[in-house]
Amino acid sequence: MANQARPLRAASPAAPEWRIAAAPVDYAEAVRAMEQRVEAIREGRAGELVWLVEHPPVYTAGTSADPAELLDPRGIPVHRTGRGGRFTYHGPGQRVVYAMLDLRRRGQDVRGFVRGLEDWAILTLARFGVKGERREGRVGIWVARGNTGDQGKEDKIAAIGVRVRGWVTFHGMAINVDPDLAAFAGIVPCGVSDPRFGVTSLRALGVDATMDEVDKALKETFARAFRS
């Protein structure tokens, strides 16, 4: 696994292993590490893993990405990847959650897995007093803007993009804790160009949460989201 990682705490036999990358992980290196772990899970050589990372600044293009949605990369590397979805940005201050789960143990329900990721983000955000919501036709988790005159305007706070190989999942979701939100201007995030919809973070919402606090919330809400 890329970088030395420190465990949150010992996992119970029924729970996934948890790791937190001790330093930012190159995106391509992370994908290689996930693919190796997925193969090991499929072959019974390793158990499930939840891997929490940050990346150096990078734009990633999913399998549905439209090249026209890369507006101005501004020197930020662009990586085409096999996850579902379109363009997104990863960078410092964003908690990227890679969930390598064995759906053979979890009902072989890909839509249920994606809904579990959505529930997980919503439950985690609720720990910080933020009401995250899913929206029909728009991937990810959204928060309504609270300012007068902003009715109908919403910002994405968590992105979701997954891949499944042999019923084992990888990639996952990214929660904006305190990233550089200006970097999202270089792309059409997740293909949503409607000016009513933007991107936000916990910090932009006035929540002074540390990454460790977000990680703790993720750990504590996992079982409820996935009923494990």
Residues involved in catalysis? 190
Closest residue by Cα to residue 49 from 169, 175, 167, 158: 169
Burial class (CB in 10 A: 0-12, 13-18, 19+), 42: middle
The secondary structure of residue 138, as a DSSP letter, is E
In contact, 127 and 137? CB cutoff 8 Å: no
Maximum pairwise Cα distance, the chain: 55
In contact, 118 and 156? CB cutoff 8 Å: no
What's the CA gap between 24 and 26, in Å, rounded? Answer: 7
Alpha-carbon dihedral sign for residues 142, 80, 83, 46: negative
